[in-house]
Amino acid sequence: MTKAPGSDALHALAQAAFQRIPPPFAAHLDGITIRIEEFADDETLAALGIEDPWELTGLYHGRPMDEESIWSSGDLPPVITLYRQPLLAEWCETGVRLADLVTHVVIHEVGHHFGLSDEAMHALERQAG
Within a domain: 107: yes
Band (pLDDT 50/70/90 cuts) for residue 96 is: very high
Note the pLDDT tens digit of each residue in 45-91: 999 999 999 999 999 988 755 555 555 555 677 899 999 999 999 99
Separation of alpha carbons 92 and 68, rounded Å: 38
Within a domain: 96: yes
Within a domain: 1: no
Sequence-distant (≥ 6) Cβ neighbours of residue 104 within 8 angstroms: none
Q: Are 15 and 98 in contact (CB under 8 A)?
A: no
- Going by their DSSP bridges, the two strands 79-83 and 33-37 should be labelled as parallel
- Domain containing residue 47: 7-66+75-128
What is the count of structural domains for the chain? Answer: 1
Selection from 21, 88, 31, 100 nearest residue 60 by Cα: 31
Q: What's the CATH number where 18 sits?
A: 3.30.2010.20
Note the pLDDT tens digit of each residue in 18-43: 888 777 777 777 788 999 999 999 99
Q: What is the pTM of this model?
A: 0.82
pLDDT attached to residue 129: 45
Tell whether the torsion through CA atoms of 34, 49, 85 and 42 is positive or negative. positive
Within a domain: 94: yes
What does the angle CA 67 – CA 44 – CA 56 come to, to the nearest 5 degrees? 95
Helix (H, G, I), strand (E, B), or coil: what is residue 55?
helix
